[in-house]
Amino acid sequence: MRRKAVLGAGLWLAAAAGVWVGGSSTSARAAPRPLLVFAAASLTDAARAIGRAYTAQTGEPLEFSFAASSTLARQIEAGAPAGVFISADAKWMDALQVRQAIDPRTRRIVATNRLALIAPAASRIELTIAPHCALAAALGSGRLAMGEPSSVPAGIYAHAALVSLGLWGSVADRLLPAEDVRAALEYVAHDEAPLGIVYRTDALIEPRVRIVGLFPPQSHPPITYPAAAVAGAGADAARFVHFLAGADAQAIFHKYGFGSP
């Protein structure tokens, strides 16, 4: 499902780019083109709710594309017609800023998160997350679902936490890597993995999983979500980034379990 969603987003982007370059679409001339927001997969539900609130207040339409921050950053660097980027990792925003692909004047942190160990809702696994805990034993013969640790922000944070707690060596060869955090969530929700590491917010919106425990905040770098307007985007992009940091959007972030900037 995640692969189909990403493919669909790619096809949509290709179509959007064709209209933008050609400028010959009657429908495009008849109505304003929605501001395209690239956002980390973990923001899917909160961002859509914030988008609805923004459009209700301003009348300005939005479109969203959700995927791993690494995927979105590479698409922006390649020229995808995004107006705003919301990343789950400062590293990918930094990479775009170095390449002058975002407007640094608009950059700001709009939310924070926690890292959670999850299991299927019916699972009886109990584990206290601590240095050298029995994580490998809790997996039994199964694998640990998490974002790809070399590129997906949730996987990068999970890798850092496991290394910090002295657990990486015992599970490194027992991973079920996913293309983004929502894919890792699906693996556990469908009982394809006995345990997974996702953001707390992902676990809260999925009734088919339960939180076994939260990783200590000091075990990994702070999980922050920087947002910025893409370089060359219109004033509407800067307005939406400003809205993300405002009281209305922050209330929605909190509703979905995100922390304050």
197-224 confidence digits (pLDDT tens): 999 999 999 999 999 999 999 999 999 9
What is the rounded average pLDDT of the residues 31-37? 87
Mean pLDDT of the chain: 90
The dihedral over CA atoms of 161, 108, 184, 175, expressed in degrees to the nearest 10, equals: -30
76 neighbors 38 (Cβ within 8 angstroms): yes
Pick the CATH number of 115-214 from 3.40.50.620, 3.40.190.10, 3.40.50.720, 3.20.20.10: 3.40.190.10
For residue 1, pLDDT over 80 is answered with no
d(CA 91, CA 52): 28
Residues above pLDDT 70, as percent of the chain: 88
Inter-CA distances, 211 with 5, 34, 95, 198, Å: 26, 37, 33, 10
β 144-147/175-178 pair status: parallel
Q: Which residue has the higher pLDDT, 108 or 21?
A: 108
Could you give the 3-state DSSP secondary structure of residue 116?
strand
pTM over 0.85: no
Angle subtended at Cα 40 by Cα 37 and Cα 45, rounded to the nearest 5 degrees? 80
The CATH class, in words, for 2-112+223-255 is alpha beta
Angle subtended at Cα 218 by Cα 217 and Cα 222, rounded to the nearest 5 degrees? 60
pLDDT for the residue numbered 6: 42
Domain spans of the chain? 2-112+223-255, 115-214
62-115 confidence digits (pLDDT tens): 999 999 999 999 999 999 999 999 999 899 999 999 999 999 999 999 999 999
- 2-112+223-255 and 115-214 share one fold: yes
pLDDT for the residue numbered 31: 64
